[in-house]
Amino acid sequence: MRTLEEARSEMLAVIDPLGTAALPLVDAAGRLLAVDAAAVIDLPRFDNSAMDGYAVQAAEAGTGAKLQCIGEVPAGSEFDGELGDGQCARIFTGSPLPAGANAVVMQEDTRVDGSTVEITDGVKPFEHVRLRGEDVKAGECIGQAGMKLQAGQLQLLGAAGVAEVTVFRRPVIGVLATGDELCEPGTELGAGGIYESNRLALAALIRDAGAEPRVFPLVPDTMEATVDALKGAFAECDAVVTSGGVSVGEHDYVKSAFEQLGGSLEFWRVKIKPGKPFVFGRLGGKPLFGVPGNPVSAMVTFLVLVRPAILQMQGAADLDLPSHPGVLADPFANRGDRRHFMRVHADAAGNVYAAGLQASHAVGPFGKANGLVDVPPETSLAEGAPVKVLRFS
Ligand code: AMP
Ligand code: MG
């Protein structure tokens, strides 16, 4: 059986980013940059005022000096002319500094009488001045390929004059759920029936990973239905995630149906808990990720195995869940021989609580959890032990 690292590197070795597309910056939120982006202009673009006040020559603007105000510079304009000795100009935050000025006196440090401005607190050269290019220089790399475009990156690119970026294509990920017992939410449950919930959870995780989920109808436990469903999903999608039907029961058809369709099974089973029966295969270069049907196993295998692969399909530089330090508020024990990804809730102070019953069918804990703690085999962790929390929300 493969370790998690072996399974993960085996998958990532055969998964390439999809193509790229040029997008206007306004449509690029959440996308991954495919090509480095450079600043078009300096930021600030010109020396400008950090305050509402008066542009001055610092040498002329000591405490008690009286200056003549010879004009004003509203935002979005430029001062026509140059300040001479004993002169100042009314200026506002962000307005370009007039030629001849090298500092700004805040309005609060002046006393104004007609066009005479008395300085009540003198300034030093460059005080309250933002210098051209001090923030970003034109030509500087301000976005690396593989970076996710979030608010801060969009702000920077937009300010620096980048109107269009090249991003990786978002993969379309098919989501199938197999099982004769599964019923659509809102329908009446027959004998032995349960409400299907993995497609909802997987689709949400796929969207969180930047890809587009495509959810297909429920798949009954027959060879024919499973082959048909896989065939339809692979025709429409860049990769397919199936849930259920990957264990050893005689009603588990995902692996055999996939092979019947011409897919190659690369591996089955990973040494983790929950999620041992995970399957990875390829059909015409497109990946199949077969997660187990137990809801917690489905979520955990998605987070630790499928998510990195989907991110790699988008050219992401960072494939790992964010890892936050925390301290256990409850004792944890893993008596098994597989590492156990326990479901936890970490609070803002870093206290880490067990999120309830740690069993692969138990959905209650996932409703409360925001992270996983990777507990090694045959290991007990006492309350107060330092841990890393792999955060998924
Ligand atoms: P399987 O992996 O198909 O053997 O299913 C394992 C367990 O997970 C069984 O108890 C199933 O009823 C349950 N299960 C399978 N698929 C789903 C699903 N899509 N939603 C909720 N529970 C499921
Ligand atoms: Mg099943």
pLDDT tens digits, residue range 358-380? 999 999 888 999 999 999 999 99
CATH of the domain at 55: 2.170.190.11
pTM for this prediction: 0.92
* Residue 336: pLDDT band with limits 50, 70, 90: very high
pLDDT score for 141: 98
Share above pLDDT 70 across residues of the chain, in percent, rounded to a whole number: 100
Residue 64 lies inside a defined structural domain of this protein: yes
* Residue 325: pLDDT band with limits 50, 70, 90: very high
Same domain, 160 and 219: no
The alpha carbon of 270 and the centre of ligand 1 are apart by a number of angstroms equal to: 18
Determine whether the shortest distance from the Cβ of 275 to ligand 1 is under 6 A.
Answer: no
Same domain, 175 and 285: yes
Residue closest via CA to ligand 1's atom 16 equals: 293
Residue 156 lies inside a defined structural domain of this protein: yes
Distance CA 127, CA 301 (A): 56
Same domain, 164 and 174: no
Same domain, 246 and 354: no
pLDDT digits (tens, 9 = 90+) for 80-120: 999 999 999 999 999 999 999 999 999 999 999 999 999 99
Nearest-atom index, ligand 1, CA of 292? 2
The alpha carbon of 185 and the centre of ligand 2 are apart by a number of angstroms equal to: 17
pLDDT digits (tens, 9 = 90+) for 131-148: 999 999 999 999 999 999
pLDDT score for 265: 98
- Domain coverage including residue 155: 20-41+141-168
Residue closest via CA to ligand 1's atom 12 equals: 181
CATH of the domain at 246: 3.40.980.10
Same domain, 346 and 378: yes
Ligand 1 pocket test, candidate residues 178, 197, 198, 278, most atoms within 8 A of CB: 198
Same domain, 205 and 224: yes
CATH of the domain at 32: 3.90.105.10
Token reading at 9 = 């590197």
* Residue 241: pLDDT band with limits 50, 70, 90: very high
Residue 318 lies inside a defined structural domain of this protein: no
Could you say which ligand is closest to the alpha carbon of residue 301?
1
Residue 136 lies inside a defined structural domain of this protein: no
Same domain, 87 and 192: no
pLDDT score for 89: 98
Same domain, 214 and 145: no
pLDDT score for 297: 97
* Helix boundaries (H) for the chain: 4-12, 151-159, 198-208, 223-236, 254-260, 295-301, 307-313, 364-368
Number of independent structural domains in the chain = 4
Same domain, 67 and 201: no
CB count in 10 Å sphere of residue 83:
23
Residue 161 lies inside a defined structural domain of this protein: yes
pLDDT score for 33: 98
Same domain, 63 and 186: no
pLDDT score for 348: 97
Nearest-atom index, ligand 1, CA of 246? 2
Instruction: Look at residues 313, 341, 358 and tell me which one is the last residue of a structural domain.
Output: 313
Mean pLDDT along residues 304-317: 97
Same domain, 151 and 31: yes
Determine whether the shortest distance from the Cβ of 243 to ligand 1 is under 6 A.
Answer: yes
The alpha carbon of 204 and the centre of ligand 2 are apart by a number of angstroms equal to: 21
Interior CA angle at 338 toward 336 and 341, to 5°? 100
Token reading at 67 = 């200056």
Computed over every residue of the chain, the mean pLDDT equals: 97
pLDDT score for 190: 93
pLDDT score for 328: 98
pLDDT higher for 365 or 323? 323
Same domain, 155 and 245: no
